[in-house]
Amino acid sequence: MREAEIRRLLAANLLCALAVVLATVVPAFFLDEFSVLGTHLTWLCVCSVCVAALNIILHLVLKPNQSPKRRSFAHKISRFLKCCIYFSMSCILFHVIIVLYGAPLIELVTETFLFAVLLSTFTTLQCLCLLGPNIQAWIRVFSKNGAMSIWESSLQITSMCSILGAWFGAFPIPLDWDRPWQVWPISCSLGATFGYMAGLIIAPLWIHWNRKQLTYKSR
């Protein structure tokens, strides 16, 4: 396994983590009273847009999973439209799952949906950038020993860390602490964000430490 490829992965992941930090800090210079807690919905939108834009740019620049076949313009348009549909469906699916796990059904719909968009950005968007709208490839990557590259291994780790972070973030909500960050969905979205950033850092380090054991075979 080439060290250069691991360094490229580390650099890309650090840039994604930096995008989250900038989405938290920079808007405060342009928007009055902007803060993660005080204007949480605005932060959710800004964070989702920043992470999504950077992931797309990095995919276009680094091309980690480029197909050797030349694609027609019509095929690229069709692929783009499918990706948009898949991302929209992911947002709706996450919204439904979150409600089934106890989020308000009618109240705070906007908050719940924007949280679902954030989760989709941390998970589904990465799958779309790396694997495209190919459900079979998604199933392969998230099955045991299904990753075929360090980028797919990183996708596994960051996606799982994001979901686990969101799940652990729900634990403080019912506690009688009366803290501002216990308001729905602040703790969950912060948990997902911290989980995503942790996954971005853990993934290349884990791959580096286990590079001698990792063998990727073409399928």
Residue 57: pLDDT band (50, 70, 90) is very high
Cα angle 165, 37, 106; round to 5:
75
CB 112 within 8 A of CB 98: yes
Which among 217, 212, 64, 208 has a CA at the least distance from the CA of 130?
A: 64
Find the farthest-apart pair of alpha carbons in the chain and give their distance in angstroms, rounded. Answer: 58
* Mean model confidence pLDDT for the chain: 91
CB 64 within 8 A of CB 101: no
Which among 217, 159, 116 has a CA at the least distance from the CA of 13?
A: 159
pLDDT, tens digit, for every residue of 86-131? Answer: 999 999 999 999 999 999 888 899 999 999 999 999 999 999 999 9
Q: Output 123 or 174, whichever has higher pLDDT.
A: 123
Q: Output 35 or 1, whichever has higher pLDDT.
A: 35
CB 203 within 8 A of CB 126: no
Pairwise CA distance, residues 219 & 193, whole Å: 33
Considering the entire predicted model, what is its pTM?
0.93
String of b and e for 99-130 (b: at least 16 CB within 10 Å)?
A: eeeebeeeeeeebbbbbbbbbbbbbbbbbbbb
Domain residue spans in the chain? Answer: 1-61+73-217
Q: Per-residue pLDDT for 219 more than 50?
A: no
Residue 68: pLDDT band (50, 70, 90) is low
Pairwise CA distance, residues 28 & 34, whole Å: 5
Determine the 3-state secondary structure of 31 from DSSP: coil
